Amino acid sequence: MSTRTAAWKVLAVIAIAGAAPLAHAQAYTVPGAVAGVTGGESFSSSLSFRPFGWSADGKFAWLESEDVDGRGGTVYTYTIYDAVEDSVVYTHSDDSFDWGTDVDATEAESWRRSGTEVSAALARAAIVQSPRIEVAAFPLTRAGDRYTATLTTRDAPGSGEGDDDRISSYTLTLSSRARGSKVVTAQDKLAITSAVVDGYILSPMEPRILVVVSQRSRAFEGSAETLRFFGAHLGVGFRK
């Protein structure tokens, strides 16, 4: 066998090995909507939350759709969030306002336009799509332990006058009956009217959750709801 022939065979083996995972890649689809917290509050009617699922290394992906008050149209935002580092690692948005009046604003139409790109990002992050994801209400009972989440807010200077009420910062604390408590996040420089812990999303792959916080702020002719997500491991970082 010539040296050139042998080299080409090695390259072919490498190419096939590199392509093998793609042959078994998951076929992602538009996820089903989660209306709100199981046994609790519903999300805003203008917001649709559709989770894809988790990866084994703590990443979580979802599609969020929100109607735009006043202007009209719907913005569809695909997000992959690293619940270990608490950072967005991928985001992609479609705005139905740019599609023209002859196209219905639906998640299916957004997926037709962006599904190929988003699927590639989900595959790179090793997201496993699951149809059984829910936002559950605290307390969380797991492995003989019980967890609760507390949100402590601070009003902005000058608040306390009816419509001028606003929150400038909050601290989210996760408490374990067996391990103590830990600060999950401290958010500041805010201009919101309310913030509450909606619940949690539990990873099926490791003892990790996303705490879901609902923030409300003033918007055109009313208020707007924003969902915030903060990752927390259930076994480390606690202090008594």
- Kindly state the percentage of the chain with pLDDT values over 90: 66
Q: What is the pLDDT of residue 73?
A: 84
Q: Note if the pTM is more than 0.85.
A: no
Please compute the mean of the pLDDT values over residues 210-223 and round it to a whole number: 82
- Return the pLDDT at 221: 64
> What residues have CB less than 8 Å from 183, skipping those under 6 apart?
171, 172, 173
* DSSP 8-state secondary structure symbol assigned to residue 225: E
Residue 23 has pLDDT above 60, yes or no: no
Average pLDDT over residues 129-154: 95
Question: Could you please report the per-residue DSSP string of 136-172?
Answer: EPSPEEETTEEEEEEEEEEEPTT--SGGG--EEEEEE
Query: What one-letter code names the amino acid at 238?
Result: F
Lowest mean pLDDT among 67-71, 88-92, 160-164: 160-164
